[in-house]
Amino acid sequence: MSAATTTDVKCEHAFGATSPERGADVSEGRRVYLVGFMAAGKSAVGAALASVLSFRFKDLDRMIEEAAGARVHEIFERQGEDWFRELEHECLNQTRALDRMVIATGGGTMTFERNRKVIRRLGVSVWIAPPLEVLFERLDRGGRAKRPLYRGREQARVLYHSRQDAYRMADLRIEPSSTDTADRVAARIAALLRARNCVI
């Protein structure tokens, strides 16, 4: 059975009210940001969670692709990671205009302080944290072509551990097992959010 743990966040201040801790923008919309390593299931869980909450769903990578007119791996190949990260930050800022929205972020989004500030100011973050071996299995099945930062298990292991401190800054954390479906993970996240008055 998968475990679900949470950091201490007072979500009653996250939606529908201005909080000195989070900033003025939280009163403008209700947003849930899913964070975590590549292949954590953020997009699949995000779509399922949006359905459960009667929210809409956005994938940050798809927003970037639409803005750039190219796929993520093509952006990395042509413009490089630095250019990608600038566009990622711009697209993340654009989520300020979205209300009642679940946003799946990229695997590296949360590792940048300026992105963490945006996410904390605009909504509630949930770290989806499957076991590393589950991530490896998914990454191996999906191949490397569409994941520019995946170059094999050993490289991914180093990258994974380097990002843990950033992911731990999320408001909530859920640890799906290898047998959990996206719908089941979404249901557990919804329960966590509602138990802490994070959605209205």
| Model confidence pLDDT, tens digit, residues 55-111 | 999 999 999 999 999 999 899 989 999 999 999 999 999 999 999 999 999 999 999
Tokens in use for 26? Answer: 């939280």
State pTM to two decimals.
0.86
Residue 9 in 3-state DSSP?
coil
Parent domain of 59: 3-195
Residue 200 placed within a domain: no
- Per-residue pLDDT reduced to its tens digit, 146-192: 677 677 888 889 999 999 999 999 999 999 998 999 999 999 999 99
What CATH number does the domain containing 116 carry?
3.40.50.300
The CB density around residue 107, as the number of other CB atoms within 10 Å, is 23
User: Total structural domains in the chain?
Assistant: 1
Residue 77 placed within a domain: yes
Length of the chain as a residue count: 200
As a 3-state breakdown, the chain gives helix, strand, coil percent values, each rounded to 5, of 55, 15, 35
Residue 1 corresponds to which amino acid? M
Residues in a beta bridge with 6: 172
Residue 37 corresponds to which amino acid? F
Residue 29 placed within a domain: yes
Do the beta carbons of residue 198 and residue 15 sit within 8 Å? Answer: yes
